[in-house]
Structure 1
């Protein structure tokens, strides 16, 4: 069971996870209208998100310095800036304006992502409890709520700017909880140890990359896949990312309990296989219910891959190096958002969205076949 003491211990970073879920869930449901307003093709839309991903990766490299400077104030300050930056996509018209708007939003999101994951890793070391899946579950439930709410507001004709403004108001309330974060000591004489090398960080980061690519593919393209290929309406299309978010939340709560009983390697291995099956089912579904079932399987599987990899690698790293390790893991992992948009867009333009999701399934097979064994080997050598 999920212990109340775990929720209390991580309530500050959990609020940051919820904030990011609110905005990306809203964005996923609004993709069709934002894409149409910007006048972008599938390939151009993917390239616009590629520009945004570049900003996020650059921000992640600087995130440890931001955390060191702001300390306990880092999460609430970054959350407010994230809320403000997401107003820009709601106003953007034209490809360049949309790309710049998403660049600003991604910079804030990427920086906050590193800070909150590093804080959870430190809390795991302090409490000796698995907390990463719990926090990522809170992101997923917030994402689900936002995707459904934004889809209904879109169906009612409410403008994207208003949708993002509503999520901004909720974020201001969450910053009150974030402000309660304590300063955590990231180093002490007892935790001195060897800095992590790329033999551990690279395969771990690539696992996260493929997980995020799979997640982003569903977040950014499922509504288009359902509406274009299966004739779904706006609300039915928004159910694609909503189903993903809901099942990811359920999967991560389950992963919170399973992580205490199964090894990280075994959990990641089977989760990757389940995600691949879900991607194939969603890609070639003949009717909406089957597509939803595919996205549900995908969500259950992909839900635990990234948080388990973060926790697994973080556990191998001395405390004084943990924020830097999380930053490097995030930079590699978030390349999934860097690679995913143009990859999905270009394949969709050339062969259709079903082939894009099929490619995602094939990439997922690299996790159990190659990457997870490499991380296991690197962990044994430390």
Structure 2
């Protein structure tokens, strides 16, 4: 071991029941704030396009700004977490996230500059990508402290945040609230939420008392060790679980309403309603999933939900009547609900490598969110959207086949030292 290593840090003291519960509630709030931020921008996209007088192709560059920033944030997240720690990282991400949101709003409303909007959204995306990893690492640590499954509920809180953001965005559109005023108010909410939530986060009780890294990045948490996570087969297989289910979720977000309209001949309003059915099924699946996961374990539940998603997709694709397609959508939503949160829990099983593994798995999952929808659109242009969804079916099947990678280490021994409700 290098002479330049610092003294090993002490493991934190055991937490009280009240502290663990306050920590849990803070993580709920952080997930909801992330969802609120993302939905705020997405809900104002039509207004942004009008302000910039942008074409569809130009709006594609706006989306690319968020995507590129997200990949940068995901890639750097484990290194930033190792240096700054979860509290400082989450606080910084929420503050930068709010700043990027306002900056993009200024770019659209005051400067009417596509370049400044893209820069603002790249900053926004980088902060949100890093926040995604950080809050999942924090959620997994709290889950271990609680001694029971709670990660799907954190992701349900994210979904509720997106629903609130979309609703407020729709209301802002109806009331003709300027984009800059809207983004500034939401940014204020993000800052206030950060100041409320972050002080309630706790040191991870099971964090290893490892040595700090030296200037060359050596030590248990050195950057070389964090990058080496990518060579671990379990990381890759967990990533494939998340990849399949993220592809299923992202494809529904972008194409489900249109697939119902074009493939099943329903009206635009009905297509939007069916998408709402999918989102509701996802949220219900995440809420109910905590009980099911604690009773049966990750692997059987992941396999069962992959099967549900596969049956639902098949029904949607081949259904002779719209009502049967809607039944398929419900099964698809329920089946796709748990893959991402369970994958995050599995990636964070080992506290010593949690940040690096969650970063790697989240990066794989985000590839599905970023690449999947354009791929479905390209294939759908040639064979129709319903048939294009067969690609999703293939990846869902792959997620089911690799579900064994999510198995809990010593599941029967998961009992909380200080029970927290």
TM-score higher than 0.5: yes
Tell me: CA distance 1:101–1:353, structure 2 relative to 1, closer, same or farther (3 Å). farther
With the length of structure 2 as denominator, give the TM-score of the two structures: 0.73
Counterpart among 272, 284, 288 of residue 250 in structure 1: 284
Aligned counterpart, 1:205: 239
Is 114-123 or 5-14 further displaced after alignment? Answer: 5-14
> 1:17 maps to which residue?
31
Q: Quickly say closer, same or farther: Cα 1:273–1:108, change in 2 above 3 A.
A: same
CA shift for structure 1 position 6: 7.1
Superposed counterparts of 1:109-120, under 5 Å: 109-120=128-139
Question: In the aligned structure 2, how far is the partner of 1:292 from the partner of 1:220?
Answer: 17
Structure 1, unaligned runs of 5 or more? none
Is the 1:272–1:365 contact (alpha carbons within 8 Å) kept by the matching residues of 2? yes
In structure 1, the partner of 2:126 is: 107
Per the alignment, residue 134 of structure 1 pairs with 153
> 1 CA distance for matches of 2:114 and 2:386?
25
2:193 aligned with 1:179: no
Q: 1:100 to 1:260 in 2, by over 3 A?
A: same
- Quote the Cα distance in structure 2 between the aligned partners of 1:182 and 1:365: 38
RMSD of aligned Cα (Å):
3.8
Distance 2:343 2:39 in 1: 23
Match of 1:335 in 2: 367
Shift of 1:252: 0.9
Q: Which residue of 2 aligns with 1:53?
A: 67
CA 1:100–1:215 in 2, change beyond 3 Å: closer, same or farther? farther
CA distance 1:358–1:151, change in 2 (3 Å): farther
Q: Distance in 2 between matches of 1:322 and 1:341?
A: 29
The 8 Å contact of residues 144 and 241 in structure 1, kept in 2 or not, is answered as: no
Contact 1:39/1:94 (CA < 8 Å) preserved in 2?
no
Q: Report the CA distance shift for 1:111/1:276 in structure 2 as closer, same or farther (over 3 A).
A: same
TM-superposed deviation, 1:198: 1.9
Alignment of 1:67-78 (within 5 A): 67=81, 68-69=83-84, 71-78=86-93
Q: 1:346 aligned to 2:378? A: yes
Match of 1:259 among 290, 293, 298: 293
1:355-375 deviations in whole A, cap 9, x for unaligned?
Answer: 44342233212222x322455
Residue in structure 1 matched with residue 14 of structure 2 by the alignment: none
Q: Secondary structure at the match of 2:268?
A: coil
Q: Map of 1:1-382 to 2, 5 A cutoff?
A: 8-30=22-44, 38-40=54-56, 49-50=63-64, 52-67=66-81, 68-69=83-84, 71-87=86-102, 90=105, 91-92=107-108, 99-175=118-194, 176-184=196-204, 186-188=207-209, 198-222=232-256, 230-232=266-268, 239=273, 242-281=276-315, 294-315=328-349, 317=350, 319-368=351-400, 370-373=401-404
Contact 1:245 1:299 survives alignment (8 Å): yes
SS of equivalent to 1:320:
coil
In the comparison of the two structures, how many residue pairs are matched? 369
CA-CA distance at 1:151 after TM superposition: 3.2
Paired with 1:283 and 1:30, the residues of 2 have a C-alpha distance of 31
State the distance in 2 between where 1:26 and 1:292 align. 28
Structure showing greater radius of gyration is: 2
Q: Deviations over 1:321-362 (max 9, x none)?
A: 211111111122221123224313323444444344342233
Q: CA separation in 1, counterparts of 2:321 and 2:62?
A: 30
